[in-house]
Amino acid sequence: MTLTNRDIIEVTEWRRRLHQNPEISNEEEKTAQAVVDFLADTRPDKVLTGLGGHGVAAVYDSGKPGPTLLFRSEIDALPIEELSGLPHASRVPGKSHMCGHDGHTAIVASMGRQLGRERPARGRVVLMFQPAEETGNGAAGVVADPRFGEIAPDFAFSVHNLPGVPLGEVRLKPGVVNCASRGIRIMLEGKTAHSSMPETGVSPMPAISELMPALPALGRATFADDDFAMVTVTHAEMGEAVFGIAPGHAEVWATLRTRQDERMADLCAAAEALVTKTAAAHGLAPTWTYHEVFVASVNAPEAVEHLRQALREEGVLHGEEALPMRASEDFGLFGHNAPSAMFFLGAGERHPALHNPDYDFPDDLIPIGSRIFMRTARNLLG
């Protein structure tokens, strides 16, 4: 139930090759093929490709009745220029694995080595390599794929590394662990004018100057409160980059964030009402669209207890500190289909933060994450 030294060396080398060749969300075709090739020698009983885009699911079936356990990782990278200076740094300009998805993929893929040698005593294990986590459409695409019914899990588990937590320690708790969030793109249409006669047009300038502080003011409550809501303005633009035209168009982008999915509906309604009122006051026509929609990730108590049992048996230190997180994770959508839980694996107290340009996944976490998942699988399936 543990990786051999050779396994660890080979999986680590493979993880670093993934790191050198990142593909961002919805472009993970070569990464998906790398996963299929890596697992080929483990002889999975079924491999589904193209799930929800470039997703891959490898099924290890005992042939006997029992639960289906899904272990999920993400395979997408980020549009960030890597500045780590490491020998295995990204070879793709402007793209890099700055969230550790290459490491999560290595943890889940390493399970294939062990399952290839010995199937579970009953039921099935599904190793799920999900695309497009960073944009929030990956899990939705996988779950909506008609073939997802072939691997519908009874439990779903996942892992994310967490800088700021001692290396190899785990953070895990039931309930909300990641916030719901979505981006709102607000468009305001007025009428352009010559910059010498701005009064002949309808400028969006007064409206966006009001919206930029008013949108964040919609947030309320502290993060410890279930009623927590937060709005962060992330982008704004107005008119053309010229001196002779008074603007007639503007956009404001913001991220809406809540701990509860139900609270998100209220926050969206409040934002829409604010935009409508502000636009009307300035003679503008407003429209808005939503993007990168993440539901809240909620750990089911029964799934958490299975992970806790594995942590105790494997002697891994664990606690609930640092949870929940304000960041979002689209794994929450798997929890709408089966009891699910994600645990957070410490990357080191002084490790560069996620999405920092000098971040790299700590390879020492691969065997730890693999042990936790394999113990969970064997406890449930034998």
Q: How many domains does the chain have?
A: 2
Q: Which of residues 254, 271, 294 is at a domain's end?
A: 294
pLDDT number for residue 222: 87
- Asked whether 310 and 379 are in contact (CB, 8 A), the reply is yes
Regarding whether 192 and 163 lie in a shared domain, the answer is: no
d(CA 25, CA 185) in angstroms, rounded, equals 20
Q: According to the model, what pLDDT value does residue 149 have?
A: 96
Q: What is the pLDDT of residue 2?
A: 83
Instruction: Determine the Cα–Cα distance for residues 79 and 259; give it in Å rounded to an integer.
Output: 27
Same domain for 144 and 29:
yes
Strand partners, 297: 178
**Residues 240, 273: one domain?**
yes
User: What 3-state class would DSSP assign to 71?
Assistant: strand
User: Which of 294, 328, 345 is the endpoint of a domain?
Assistant: 294
| 232 and 345 in a common domain | no
Same domain, 161 and 289: no
On whether both 11 and 37 belong to a single domain, the answer is yes
- Residue 1 pLDDT: 65
326, 372: one domain: yes
Domain boundary among 294, 320, 347: 294
Map residue 322 onto helix, strand or coil. Answer: coil
Within this chain, do residues 251 and 311 fall inside the same structural domain, yes or no?
Answer: no
Please tell me the distance from the alpha carbon of residue 113 to that of residue 109, in angstroms, as a whole number.
7
Q: Are residues 290 and 303 in the same domain?
A: no
Quick one: which of 288, 282, 287 has its CA closest to 191? Answer: 282
CATH number of the domain residue 240 falls in = 3.30.70.360
In terms of domains, do 335 and 192 share one? no
Q: What was the pLDDT predicted at 137? A: 96
What pLDDT is attached to residue 231?
Answer: 98
Same structural domain, 196 and 345: no
Determine the 3-state secondary structure of 302 from DSSP.
helix
- Spell out the per-residue pLDDT of the chain, length 382, in tens: 689 999 999 999 999 999 999 999 999 999 999 999 999 999 999 999 999 999 999 999 999 999 999 999 999 999 999 999 999 999 999 999 999 999 999 999 999 999 999 999 999 999 999 999 999 999 999 999 999 999 999 999 999 999 999 999 999 999 999 999 999 999 999 999 999 999 999 999 999 999 999 999 999 888 988 899 999 999 999 999 999 999 999 999 999 999 999 999 999 999 999 999 999 999 999 999 999 999 999 999 999 999 999 999 999 999 999 999 999 999 999 999 999 999 999 999 999 999 999 999 999 999 999 999 999 999 999 9
Segments forming the whole domain that contains residue 344 = 5-177+297-381
Q: What is the CATH number of the domain that holds 315?
A: 3.40.630.10
**DSSP per-residue letters across 157-177:** EEEEEETTS-TT-EE--SEEE
Q: How far apart are CA 273 and CA 5, in angstroms?
A: 59
pTM of the predicted structure, to 2 decimals: 0.94
Q: Are residues 101 and 20 in the same domain?
A: yes
